[in-house]
Amino acid sequence: MWQGKTRTPTTIRGGATIGSRAWNEARDGGFAPLPIEDFAPPQVLAVPNVSEGSDPGIIARLTEAASLPRVRVVDVHSDADHDRTVLTLVGPPMEIQDALVELAGACIDLIDLRRQRGVHPRVGALDVAPLVALTPDDEALASEVALVVADRIGNELNLPVFLYGALVADPQRNRPHHFRSEGIDGLERAMEEGRLRPDAGPERLHPTAGAVLVGMRPPLIAWNVELPDASLAEARAIADRIRETSGGHPGLRALGLYLPERGVAQVSMNLEDYRVTSPARAVHAVRREAERLGVRVGSSELVGMIPRAALRGTSPQALGLTRFTPAQVLEARCPDLRRPDPATRRTRDTDR
């Protein structure tokens, strides 16, 4: 059983330890004296997805594993049909590292992939652990934290870890789909044949926990639209028409699914860049294709949290969000993720 480990200080460029005074001084350009707020370490955002969405007891224990001091679990979204829970974590870099490693260890103890039956594709008990860069300025730190997390999960927990997205140069590994396309059995074959090698950890899948995908990405919006009267074939046809890979909207990933617990079909979408394809545009695309097929469109569902700018120019009601709350707006729950604009930041007068 995973008992947790004492973290090893992680160094970054210049030899400073993340979260240390030297690191803070390097981040702030070595100016002195510093305003009090500059002594606080930056906050980072992680959105791990675990392959359990139906057992409240297990979900509570997984959430507790990630709830370390100084790490806030600001959102938990579970879905029994997908058999998946999405956690949103905010905290300082070193504490987020620890939280993700603790969560991975708890997933080994509590989740057996051989017994999971959700409709969502997955290759691991802790399926994906992305670090999120809200702005381009956040990418360097998010990448550094992600790389350390990958190394620690691989070495401390003996789980194979694959990097994806901006952490790798191979364009074919820019999305989790590359590893999930043939299921966990297909991933195992690719590893056995040497077509895929993990970036950390052993070169074989864990017998019950599979593998972990670790990435760095900008904010992604997970959005589902129910189709109450549609068949699975009709849901898949709509998904196929709207997704980018079939000539649809850029940055839109879509699956047509049937949800046995709810008894409805669903178009499940990931919007990789809401500035290019907004939720309003994605919902309009689903409604247009559903009308073409004569299929009724039901309510929408937001999985996790959303940047405020993604809702600009529309409203939750217009998008069919019947269970939306203001707490799902990222900036409302995580104001400490905002960074001051350098152009308006108080000037430090070094001549006094």
Domain edges within the chain: 36-217, 221-325
Q: Indicate the burial class of 65 (C-beta count within 10 angstroms; 0-12, 13-18, 19 or more).
A: buried
**Percent of the chain residues past pLDDT 70, beyond the cut:** 84
CA angle (320 as vertex; 315, 326 as ends), nearest 5: 50
178 as an active site residue: the answer is no
The answer to whether the 36-217 and 221-325 domains have the same CATH topology is: no
For 61-77, what is each residue's pLDDT tens digit? 999 999 999 999 999 99
Q: Which residues contact 106 (CB under 8 A, 6 or more apart)?
A: 2, 61, 62, 65, 66
Q: What is the pLDDT of residue 336?
A: 80
pLDDT tops 60 at residue 89: yes
Residues 132 and 330 sit within 8 Å (Cβ to Cβ):
no
- pLDDT grade, residue 171 (50/70/90)? confident
Q: What is the pLDDT of residue 30?
A: 43
Q: What is the pLDDT of residue 27?
A: 42
| Region for residue 70 given its phi and psi (left: phi exceeds 0; alpha: psi -120 to 50; beta: otherwise) | left
Q: What is the pLDDT of residue 20?
A: 44
Choose the CATH number for 36-217 among 3.50.30.30, 3.90.1300.10, 3.30.990.10, 3.40.50.720: 3.30.990.10
pLDDT tops 70 at residue 35: no
Q: Could you tell me the maximum CA-CA distance found in the chain, to the nearest angstrom?
A: 73
Transcribe 212-267 into DSSP letters: EEEEEES--EEEEEEETT--HHHHHHHHHHHSGGGT-STTEEEEEEEETTTTEEEE
Average the pLDDT over 78-102 and give the result: 97
- pLDDT grade, residue 14 (50/70/90)? very low
For 191-207, what is each residue's pLDDT tens digit? 999 999 999 999 999 99
- pLDDT grade, residue 2 (50/70/90)? low
- pLDDT grade, residue 33 (50/70/90)? very low
For 315-344, what is each residue's pLDDT tens digit? 999 999 999 999 999 999 888 886 544 443
Query: What is the chain's mean pLDDT, rounded?
Result: 88
**Percent of the chain residues past pLDDT 90, beyond the cut:** 79
Q: What is the DSSP letter of 54?
A: S
For 242-282, what is each residue's pLDDT tens digit? 999 999 999 999 999 999 999 999 999 999 999 999 999 99
Q: Active-site residue among 120, 177, 178, 284?
A: 120
Q: What is the pLDDT of residue 117?
A: 87
Average the pLDDT over 125-132 and give the result: 98
Q: What is the pLDDT of residue 39?
A: 55
3-class secondary-structure state, position 195: coil
Six-digit token string for 208: 């019950």
**Looking at domain 221-325, what is its CATH homologous superfamily?**
Formiminotransferase, C-terminal subdomain (3.30.70.670)
- pLDDT grade, residue 238 (50/70/90)? very high
